[in-house]
């Protein structure tokens, strides 16, 4: 498993350690750039596949102005890290690696002026054969750099002392013995098989071993004076709880073809909620597009069918006639934006997160702006002629989106008269709210053909690395919305009901409103029955309900169980009701029903997180309190030291 981290900053004497990055997965491998910014590596899951969204980003030392630098939407390399600026140039040296691997791979020089997601930006690569692995394609190839024969790590550019320019010579950690070309590698070899040494590498084809010893040598760095980057002024104000954002023109940028001026009515702000708990059992659902696998969810515990995140709608703000928008955002939240038409349907969505520091004002040009070619934001904008819009939530107070409470009541009111167990329409689609193994009946039925031709839903979740064109995904492409708009079987939904369904689809079809669970050791971390009970149920019914480890979803999750009405569970249909197998199978499902009554899950009323998750939350709140103490110290110009580090002055 990967150990996740965020970016922190501290004073030179160890005081005032505080967080400056709030992405919901990983930030690290940071280095200081000549202009004073920090270059770092970020891994994201915002409506993305789990392994191909690991690129280079920049941020100011105070945590303001997080911005994509290179390879945020490039399928391969799936991971770009160990980035360092090459002095005297606009290029960086970095490592191209894979998702399921150690932090090594090919060494490359990147010139982002040739494209932020461009193969042409790779100016040079070691080994040269790795160039064929750099691909800007719509494919899920998160481990494309695993089979490399030689592995590099921790590159450091050297500088010509006469000119102050680098780019010809590099120190790097490299494997001593290349993997034999005829050896098929599924995963990287053990460290005992691949010792790393320190090398001097140049652009003339030389790779000279400088030093090697077991278990390996890493992080070469010359001990020499170098120019001090300029100190950047502080742009945050910890007396504020919010920051401000404005967009100068949502119609500017890439992938906005087909969007006419006036089409965009509003901008939705969604928070990708941070995750602080974990379970051993997992939910794994593969995504299929046109019959081919292109990624999938690996949730611990299960969160949704087509994504990794709990979602929270912070609010919707108007877009002015000139395409501008201005709004306040809670500080240090990981948020993203969606453009909506006058019917509240998504036109385009952002698949990365943004964040502001307290008191920070951040601006962008448009949707998927071209950072290399666009004009700077104008200050003569309609949205700047009035105070920034305050975010007030969506159809009620700000809350995490829960399918059972937000969407299921619509099916209960209009649909289950026909679309229920034992009814003719239910043979095609069950829309009842019965709790099933991981989610509920209607949710599973709506999603079970997701990603395939003629599916009911087309959601953004688990998207491939390349940016999607406007109108390519979401409610505009979901057959369910078309059916409901036509008034299926004389059913007419209210404007609010239709908006709830459209919004749910457009934010990725989330299910659970909380990462915590009450059944951390059971199936998918959510089910009221254990893995052993599920496997036994599979034996009794002759149905493959999971993989060998009891994880649902691998073979395509289906609606086999209802814990609300155990006798109607589809997995029992082929069993003789007088048989011992039927009685035992029904008893397992009823035991799950009883367990849910005692310990409701996170989607149900009366939910109480398990003891472990409550303990983790208590620890997190204590860490937040300590973080706030540091913020007060920063605002007051005082120093606060963590226990065991320095002395408070």
Do 426 and 566 belong together in one domain?
yes
Total domains, the chain: 3
Which residue matches tokens 């099916």? Answer: 411
CA pair distance 105, 76, nearest whole angstrom: 12
Is the peptide bond between 638 and the residue preceding it cis, with omega within 30 degrees of 0?
Answer: no
Q: Among 399, 433, 460, which residue terminates a domain?
A: 399
- Residue at 279 is within a domain: no
CATH of the domain at 389: 2.60.40.1120
Q: Which of 620, 606, 166 is nearest to 405 (CA)?
A: 606
Task: Evaluate whether residue 614 is within a structural domain.
Answer: no
Residue 35 pLDDT: 95
Looking at the fold, whether 351 and 497 belong to one and the same domain comes out as no
Asked if residue 327 and residue 475 are part of one domain, the reply reads no
Answer whether residue 284 is part of any domain: no
Instruction: Based on the fold, state whether residues 339 and 449 are members of the same structural domain.
Output: no
Residues in Cβ contact with 337 at an 8 Å cutoff, skipping those fewer than 6 apart? 247, 267, 268, 269, 270, 349, 350, 354
Q: How far is CA 269 from the centre of its chain?
A: 16
Question: Do 58 and 30 fall into the same domain?
Answer: yes
Task: Judge contact between 267 and 338, C-beta under 8 A.
Answer: yes
Cα–Cα distance list, 196 to 103, 125, 187, 190 (Å): 12, 19, 17, 12
Long-range CB contacts for residues 622-631, cutoff 8 Å, separation at least 24: 627/18, 627/19, 630/16, 630/17, 630/18, 631/18, 631/238, 631/358
C-alpha 452/C-alpha 565 separation (Å) is 30
Which of 212, 244, 259 terminates a domain? The answer is: 212
In a domain, 218, yes or no: no
Name the 3-class secondary structure at 512: coil
Whether 617 is in a domain gets the answer no
200 and 249 fall within a common domain: no
Please report the pLDDT score of residue 1 as a whole number.
40
Contact indicator for 532, 524 with CB cutoff of 8 Å: no
Per-residue model confidence (pLDDT) at position 484: 95
User: Among residues 179, 212, 245, which one ends one of the domains?
Assistant: 212
Does one domain contain both 444 and 585? yes
Residue 327 and residue 363 in one domain: yes
| 201 located within any domain | yes
The answer to whether residue 347 is domain-embedded is yes
149-188 pLDDT, tens digit per residue, is: 899 999 999 999 889 899 999 999 999 987 655 455 555 5
Could you tell me the two tokens for 482?
A: 């078309």
Residue 447 lies in a domain: yes
Provide the token pair at 220.
């070469």
Predicted confidence at residue 116, as pLDDT, reads 87
Place of tokens 């159809």: 395
Domain check: are 319 and 422 in the same one? no
The answer to whether the bond into 215 is cis (omega within 30° of 0) is yes
| 449 and 375 both lie in a single domain | no
Task: Say which residues have a Cβ less than 8 Å from residue 611's Cβ, sequence separation at least 6.
Answer: none
pLDDT < 70 positions in the chain: 1-3, 179-194, 286-295, 366-379, 451, 453, 548-550, 553-556, 646-649
pLDDT at position 178 is 76
Segments forming the whole domain that contains residue 489: 401-609
As given in the structure block, the two tokens for residue 27 are 């930030």
Question: Are both 481 and 377 inside the same structural domain?
Answer: no
Could you read off the pLDDT of 475-508 as tens digits, one per residue? 999 999 999 999 888 899 999 999 999 999 999 9
| 17 and 108 fall within a common domain | yes
């Amino acid at each position: 498993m990967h150990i996740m981290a965020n970016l922190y900053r501290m004073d030179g004497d160890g005081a005032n350690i505080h967080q400056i990055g709030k992405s919901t997965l990983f930030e690290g491998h940071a280095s200081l750039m000549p202009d004073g910014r920090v270059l770092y590596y970020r891994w994201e899951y915002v409506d993305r596949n789990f392994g191909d969204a690991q690129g280079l980003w920049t941020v100011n030392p105070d945590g303001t102005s997080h911005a994509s630098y290179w390879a945020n939407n490039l399928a391969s390399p799936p991971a770009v890290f160990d980035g360092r600026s090459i002095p005297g140039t606009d290029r960086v040296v970095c490592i191209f690696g894979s998702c399921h691997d150690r932090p090594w791979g090919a060494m490359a020089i990147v010139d982002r002026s040739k494209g932020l997601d461009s193969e042409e930006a790779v100016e040079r690569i070691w080994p040269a054969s790795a160039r064929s692995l750099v691909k800007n394609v719509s494919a899920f190839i998160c481990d494309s750099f695993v089979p490399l024969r030689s592995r590099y790590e921790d590159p450091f550019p050297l500088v010509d002392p006469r000119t102050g320019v680098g780019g010809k010579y590099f120190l790097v950690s490299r494997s001593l013995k290349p993997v034999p070309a005829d050896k098929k590698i599924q995963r990287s070899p053990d460290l005992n098989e691949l010792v790393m040494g320190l090398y001097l590498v140049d652009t003339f084809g030389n790779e000279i071993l400088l030093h090697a010893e077991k278990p390996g040598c890493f992080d070469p760095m010359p001990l020499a004076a170098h120019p001090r980057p300029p100190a950047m002024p502080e742009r945050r104000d910890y007396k504020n709880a919010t920051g401000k954002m404005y967009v100068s023109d949502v119609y500017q940028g890439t992938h906005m073809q087909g969007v006419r001026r006036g089409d965009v009515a509003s901008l939705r702000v969604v928070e990708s909620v941070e995750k602080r708990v974990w379970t051993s059992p997992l939910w794994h659902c593969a995504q299929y597009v046109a019959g081919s696998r292109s990624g999938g969810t690996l949730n611990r515990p299960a969160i949704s069918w087509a994504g990794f995140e709990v979602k929270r709608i912070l609010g919707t703000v108007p877009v002015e006639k000139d395409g501008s928008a201005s709004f306040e955002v809670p500080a240090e939240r990981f948020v993203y934006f969606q453009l909506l038409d006058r019917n509240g349907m998504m036109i385009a969505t952002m698949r990365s997160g943004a964040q502001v520091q307290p008191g920070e004002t951040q601006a962008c040009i448009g949707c998927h702006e071209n950072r290399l070619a666009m004009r700077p934001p104008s200050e003569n904008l309609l949205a700047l002629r009035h105070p920034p819009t305050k975010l007030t939530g969506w159809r009620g107070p700000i809350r995490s989106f829960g399918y059972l409470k937000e969407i299921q009541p619509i099916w209960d009111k209009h649909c289950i008269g026909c679309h229920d167990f034992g009814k003719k329409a239910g043979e095609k689609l069950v829309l009842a709210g019965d709790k099933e193994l991981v989610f509920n009946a209607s949710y599973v039925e709506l999603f079970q053909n997701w990603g395939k031709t003629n599916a009911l839903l087309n959601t953004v979740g688990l998207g491939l690395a390349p940016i999607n064109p406007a109108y390519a995904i979401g409610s505009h492409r979901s057959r369910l919305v078309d059916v409901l708009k036509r008034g299926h079987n004389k059913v007419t939904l209210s404007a609010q009901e239709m908006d709830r369904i459209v919004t749910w689809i457009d934010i990725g079809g989330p299910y659970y409103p909380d990462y915590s669970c009450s059944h951390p050791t059971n199936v998918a971390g959510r089910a009221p029955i254990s893995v052993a009970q599920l496997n036994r149920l599979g034996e009794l019914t002759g149905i493959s309900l999971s993989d060998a480890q009891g994880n649902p979803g691998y073979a395509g999750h289906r609606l086999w169980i209802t814990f609300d009405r155990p006798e109607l569970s589809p997995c029992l249909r082929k069993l003789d009701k007088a048989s011992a197998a039927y009685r035992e199978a029904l008893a397992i499902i009823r035991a799950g029903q009883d367990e849910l009554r005692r310990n409701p899950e996170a989607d149900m009323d009366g939910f109480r997180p398990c003891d472990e998750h409550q303990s983790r939350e208590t620890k997190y709140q204590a860490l937040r309190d300590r973080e706030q103490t540091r913020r007060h110290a920063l605002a007051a110009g005082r120093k606060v030291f963590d226990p065991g580090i320095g002395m408070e002055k």
